[in-house]
Chain A
Amino acid sequence: MLNSRLELDTLKKKALADIGSKEKRILVCAGTGCVANGSLKVFELFQQLLGEKPELAVSLALEKEHSHQGVSAHTSGCHGFCQMGPLVRIEPRGTLYCKVQPGDVAEIFEEHIINNRLVSRLLYHDDKNQLPIETQDEIPFYKNQFRVALANCGRIDPDDIKDYIAHDGYQPLAKVLFEMTPDEVIKEVLDSGLRGRGGGGFPTGRKWLFAREAGGEKKYIVCNGDEGDPGAFMDRSVMEGDPHRIIEGMMLAGYAVGADEGYIYVRAEYPLAVKRLHNAVETAVRYGMLGENILGSGFSFKVNIKEGAGAFVCGEETALIASIEGERGMPRPRPPFPAVSGLWGCPTVINNVETLANLPSIILKGAGWFSNIGVTTSTGTKTFALAGQVAHTGLVEVPMGLTLKEIVFDIGGGLRDNKVFKAVQIGGPSGGCLTREHLDLPLDYDSLQKAGAMVGSGGLVVMGEDTCMVEVAKFFMGFVQNESCGKCVPCREGTRGMLELLNRIANGSGTEEDLSLLEELALIVKDGSLCGLGKTSPNPVLTTLRYFRSEYEAHVRDKKCPAGVCKDLLDYRIDPSLCKGCGLCKKLCPADAISGERKEPHWIDLEKCIKCGTCISKCKFGSIVTN
């Protein structure tokens, strides 16, 4: 139980000394991706080996309290480089071993821990020259990153409050409690230029100011951890990898606006995040960092954890409030805004996980430090979830305003399998598609909005030349239609209408009228929907129409899918000059659509062909072609 700032500082020194006393610290990534790839088994084996070598004065993760020196093993939160997992990081040098299998543990232990020799084959190898790179910071994927929100992810044990405290955790809170007035805190956040990282990009300080100025005794801080964009997982990584940072961010907000209670609305489909948040809240309460009279300052704060109700729309702030209140998660008309009348009618600040995770650093290092990162109207960093056909998938946190090219090619390593870059879908179903002409576009709130996309939660799906943009629009439209809460007509029925039109276009029955109807409808849904989810849902359609209109037109006019994706528009055909008549395709065809004599060119009966693609994938001579 920490009763004063002094006790917090003492604990920090002790925790730092503990870490410093270790010759080596093994951090096994326990993010969802690595866990799925078997990282926990790796961790167990390290523990086991540490146990077998008492002469190393070993300390195990679970017994850290009593450790003095030597080596310790910890689980950590997500490192972000999920594609390379399970990841094992060894401090103090920051060596990063990739794709570590249980069978590799003994070797790492013997060579690295005991004999201080690198296990070269498990290091990351440079894409270009295939040379091994030892430390995490030197890997191109990390080199261009600038980590604020993710600073601790992968470097501390999320289940250990002392590890957090050792890394300056709760120092910002102590600073505001003892050195700053709430108004000064708000001013600091305003000056930092921090904008909401959940999608809208509303200035965080202004949101706080509204809530501070709203009357009423009871106010709430809500952490929006209902991350639902397909492919985005930055909030999950912070919640799993650095849960105390979120709690601290909420308390900073609470102190600033005068709230003494908060809710973390965490997506229930993130069981590990739920578990770690619960653990963090319990520990923080035990250490006196949550509860009454924190550090003797007179400030009290309570955090409740509410598991999400499983709907994408619950990420919309008024729907989220309804969901916490036990109602169906449906948005309510604004005004009144939550800052005036939110949870149970009280003034409520709702901040996204990543937004909150930035706050401790802003307070600690100052608004000036933060506003120097990024560009004028979009300060600080943004985490993007790189996915799709990019060489290196994972989480990257970069200063705002980095260009698309820098992210996709310098950090992401370009496209996989030598594919040619065609587009990115940025910001999930609310965002839009950007093309090659945007490669030099700085990724910040305003530039993206101008291009018809949005930062959104930061999903970044990279697509190569074999992606059909109609198909992409269809995918996101299907997602929004399934996730629409069904309240307002434009979103519920409009997305149904758009999906229907896209289906028509993709299956070849679309007309030019359908194309203009699609455009008309998209604008109406954008104009008329009740909440942000609905208003932004046409973005994928509008941007693909804007940048890839000819592709749509090919579907409609020529009944062709230029990318060769839309099945209904494909005809399979055997090039007689290439066919050797081996008969393999005939044998494998599930629809008996292929005929032909042995050693004679075969042919496909288009009436029977179901376009499953089996023949193409199996033909050794490349004789089966589509148009």
Chain B
Amino acid sequence: MKSQSEEKKYMPELSEKEVEELRKAITDTSQRVVAENIEKMKKADQNRPEAMNYFDEIADFAQREKEIRAAKKEGKKVIGYMCLHAPTELILAADAIPVRVNSGWYDASKLGDRIVPVEVCPMVRSTIGAKMIALSPYLELSDALISVLTCDAMTKLGEILSDYTPVWAMTVPRVKDSAQSIRLWNEEIKAIKAQIEALTGNTIKGKQLKSAIERTQKATKAFRRLQDLRKGPPVIMGRDAMLVNQTYMWDDIDRWTEKTEALCDELEKRVSQKNWVCPTDTPRVMITGTPMIWPDNWKVPTLVEEANPQGILVADELCSSERLLYDPVGVDEWSISDMLNAIGERYLMASTCPCFTSEDGNEDRINWLLTKIKDWNIQGVIYYVVRGCMLYAMEYTRVKKVLDRNNIPVYYLDTEYTREDVGQMKTRVEAFLEMLSARIDI
């Protein structure tokens, strides 16, 4: 821990008054955006599943903030993470609360511009901005942060945030399938376990770890059930499913699992009644690319589902949504070393992030995209990139070549953390959907 008097490496000293004013302005906007997004989602499906009410509530940060605050008063620790490679089972096993802290607030990215150039990924700039004005309840409540060094911007983000909160970096190897990579990553897992134990004062024993893995496996089961229901004719709007997926990042895991199962029960009834959310010939779209974080960065799913002609999101390949929880930790023997190895494997091998490469390039991502396209009957792919995300931007050419060969239309949609380009994006999204409809017509 550093002393208070130590100078900050990156962050400026802002007056309390300025912080207060900025936070109030952005919080007000945020509350309006949350309400607007939910309102639009309700309007999109007049007969929206009742189980969605819970997720609407948890999407408003206030309720969960209150719960976490109360848990902290009772001595619980909160561990924030910025990337899905962070092994949340270890956090749960130490009786701490995991919460993802990436920022989806557009306006906060402008504050980040004071620290890093505008060319930097806006999600990272926004997270910096959020920290500057204590905007994100989850970032503020975190006693420590896990920063997985997947890309350049993430690497420096951890460094910048360490001006306020202890940050534990995890080095992720860029080549997944070599013996030395797996050794390194397993060592990183052990090191992070030791950090978590030191912070919480709780030793992670076999029993607790087994229970944490099993609780997460249950969540995965519910999560998969929801995604599998989207393979058929559309029974849920894509935005609703995305919101469910996204709330996992901050909700209580057991309650989230229970509520997701309840939603799936309701959806299954609708499937049996052939009660669809839109005409079954609506173009089926998948989004892949950079993460989209609630509440502000909801513009692309909204555009797709409110476009004329309309599209329906039936799948995505985003680390903020369907990549979160799809893969379970697979344990053979419930010994602590086996469990740790299984966690290591799950958080490295299952990831399709473009930070990885191999002899065949990032082949895992290509294969997973093709599997999704086939199993979810995808008719078009939107490749979404925020400016400054080099890895996703560069890998587009590879993905496009493969999808072209498979006769799957793909459109590259680049944007910023801003609301001002919605008009131009709408033109493009609608042209893409029109193209898909014309193809379906033939």
- Is B truly associated with A? no
